[in-house]
Structure 1
Amino acid sequence: MSSKVSVATYSLGDRKVNRIGFGAMQLAGPGVFGPPKDGDAARAVLREAIMQGVNHIDTSDFYGPHVTNQLIREVLHPYPHELTIVTKIGARRGTAGEWLPAFSPAELTSAVHDNLRNLGVEQLHVVNLRSMHGLHEPAEGSLEEAITTLAELRDKGLIRHIGVSNVTATQIAEAQRIVPIVCVQNAYNIVHRQDDALIDRLAAEGIAYVPFFPLGGFSPLQSSTLEEVAATLGATPMQVAIAWLLQRSPNILLIPGTSKVDHLRQNLAAADVVLSAEAVAQLDTLAYGP
């Protein structure tokens, strides 16, 4: 394992993974639709991630669609034994790139088989059910039928572990009554902290929390406070945002994405950034509501 990746780990199902992983979303084209602008660069990023010791990749067959999974298989298969690949289902892409629900038992079953085929595996280590009751913010609505479908696919050996994404606390509890949940993937970062209480509860239960949009997503984080703290540490603002998440709670697993090797290295180097109590207090002023 490279020393450039934090040695700190956390459980993801029955595996321990490094707390900084890699999100494959940006390997697809603009708007996460179509092929990458630079296929060679996308392949280089995947190879570099593994060389740097990354052992947790987050992907989905609706990225592209199919693009990121096919790239991952092309570049990394046969996979290193220690590599954990997490995918998500529950959505599909329209002909113009729209994000559409795909929540019926038939659609979910088909999505699992698509992921198996495009990744070239016989079992998916973790499958996150992505709730589409809300687009990028959780909204209430039952997940019972969908989670039951995934539980049945797990019983058949096609899935090893199940997680949930874009969900409320009520939906997590509903899912947990049906099957063990190993991770929750919601929008969260140094500014958007609506899941503070949920993160602490999940940590007490030994469940991983995987924030999407950890650096702001389609609208990257911008803050003079972030820049000031970064300048005092000789780090980039995004490295500070990653370091804050690592120090926020031990159950947080990060999957920052990029299509550039130098950016990947910067993200991984954030594992070495240590924030003082004073810096954390300064950064905490950026939060704007639960």
Structure 2
Amino acid sequence: MVAIGARDVGRMGFGAMRLPADTDAERESSLAVVRRAVELGVTLLDTAYLYGGGANEELLAEALHPYPEELLITTKVGLAPSGPGEEWKIDGRPEILREQVDGALVRLRVDRLELLQLHRIDPEIPLAEQLGTLRELRDAGKIAHIGVSEVTVEQLAEARAVVDIASVQNRYSMLDREHDPVLDACEAAGIAFLPWRPVAPATTADDKEIRAVAAELGATPTQLALAWLLDRSPVVLPIPGTTRIAHLEENVAAAGLRLTDAHRDRLDHLTA
């Protein structure tokens, strides 16, 4: 289990970003994947306003509302389209953050967001102003816990000076360890670390060592990549996404793999 505030959630989460819903068939398939994730014991699902302008949040609500008591759905705010049909850009203006939080409450059909993450830090707005806005929304009862995404160690320290930080969501994987220092800082502070893009590039790399260790464990390279993350630190909570139930079941089963010291040593020396 990983602590997020006063709540404990399972070590393997699910990232909903990739779920399609453009056709009736795609929507039904996506709903089935989400429901199966919860059946398998997944207790944290990750979404964001960016994913379809809130459509992904609505999909999760359709699949799971009323939510099981143990389920935690986390969403993210802080990116917005610059105009009709235009590209999404980082936007941490207080009015935008408030608008997106209020919208998420409606789309997810909840009175409070259990974990709300700042999707990106807006370099044009003081960090204290962005997180101060989220702190005000927390104090108003609209948010339970606050997280940040794609931060450095220095930015994490600055954020924690403004408000309690429950989670960090940075890109990280077995072959992508740029944020090792951030993960170490999270472990020292007891902050949940949710690596996004947790599997690639390990599963696409033509690496004999990865294939060899996976074979020795009777696992796939994908499962090995997830098992390595779980072994890396007790605060790590991967959020792999998929559109297929079979792949979902494969991902969840990775939590049962155990690396030996020898396996760990062989993998820890790999780089992209």
Instruction: Tell me which of 131, 136, 142 is aligned to 1:147.
Output: 131
Kindly indicate whether residue 4 of structure 2 is the aligned counterpart of residue 16 of structure 1: no
Contact 1:89 1:128 (8 Å CA) reproduced: yes
Contact 1:24 1:59 (8 Å CA) reproduced: yes
Shifted more, 278-287 versus 246-255: the winner is 278-287
Structure 1 gap ranges (5+): 1-8, 134-138
Instruction: Tell me which of 100, 123, 132 is aligned to 1:111.
Output: 100
Q: Secondary structure at the match of 1:26?
A: coil
Shifted more, 278-287 versus 89-98: the winner is 89-98
Superposition pairs for residues 1-12 of structure 1, below 5 Å? 9-12=1-4
Contact 1:13 1:126 (8 Å CA) reproduced: no
Instruction: Tell me which of 79, 88, 96 is aligned to 2:76.
Output: 88
Quickly say closer, same or farther: Cα 1:194–1:277, change in 2 above 3 A: same
- Structure 1 distance, partners of 2:158, 2:80, is 24
For 1:18, the aligned partner's letter is G
Shifted more, 105-114 versus 94-103: the winner is 94-103
- Structure 2 distance, partners of 1:221, 1:183, is 28
For 2:109, the aligned partner's letter is G
- Structure 2 distance, partners of 1:190, 1:47, is 28
The runs of at least 4 aligned residues of structure 1 exceeding 6 Å deviation read 34-37
- Structure 2 distance, partners of 1:196, 1:141, is 27
Instruction: Tell me which of 17, 24, 35 is aligned to 1:25.
Output: 17
% of aligned pairs identical? 41
TM-score normalised according to structure 2 size: 0.93
CA shift, 1:124, in A, is: 0.2
Q: Secondary structure at the match of 2:248?
A: helix
Contact 1:166 1:185 (8 Å CA) reproduced: yes
Contact 1:21 1:256 (8 Å CA) reproduced: yes
TM-score normalised according to structure 1 size: 0.87
Instruction: Tell me which of 46, 52, 75 is aligned to 1:58.
Output: 46
Contact 1:163 1:184 (8 Å CA) reproduced: yes
Q: Secondary structure at the match of 1:38?
A: helix
Q: Secondary structure at the match of 1:117?
A: helix
Q: Secondary structure at the match of 1:167?
A: coil
Contact 2:119 2:149 (8 Å CA) reproduced: yes
What is the total number of aligned residue pairs between the two structures?
Answer: 270
1:32-58 deviation line (CA, Å, top 9, x unaligned): xx6797111101101101111111111
1:87-123 deviation line (CA, Å, top 9, x unaligned): 1111124655733112100110001011101000000
Contact 2:17 2:51 (8 Å CA) reproduced: yes
For 1:165, the aligned partner's letter is S
Contact 1:154 1:160 (8 Å CA) reproduced: yes
For 1:70, the aligned partner's letter is E
Please name the residue that 1:227 is paired with.
211
